Amino acid sequence: MQVELLVGKLHAATVTECRLYYQGSVTIDRDLSDAVGLLPHQKVDIYNINNGERFSTYILEGKRGSKTIGLNGAAARLVQVGDRVIIAGFGTFTREEALKHEPRVAVLDEHNEIVSTGH
- Does 24 score more than 80 pLDDT? no
What's the whole-number mean pLDDT along residues 81-99?
Answer: 97
Choosing from 33, 58, 66, 116, the catalytic residue is 58
Residues 52-70 pLDDT 10s: 999 999 999 999 999 999 9
Q: For the chain, give every domain's residue range.
A: 2-111
Q: Is 47 a catalytic residue?
A: no
Q: What is the pLDDT of residue 23?
A: 79
DSSP letters spanning the chain? -EEEEEEEEEEEEEP-EEESSS-SEEEEEHHHHHHTT--TT-EEEEEETTT--EEEEEEEEEPTTS--EEEEGGGGGS--TT-EEEEEEEEEEEHHHHHH---EEEEE-TTS-EEEEE-
Choosing from 25, 33, 56, 116, the catalytic residue is 25
Instruction: CATH number for 2-111: choose from 3.40.630.30, 2.40.40.20, 1.10.3720.10, 3.40.50.300.
Output: 2.40.40.20
Q: Is 25 a catalytic residue?
A: yes
Q: What is the pLDDT of residue 43?
A: 97
Model confidence, pTM: 0.96
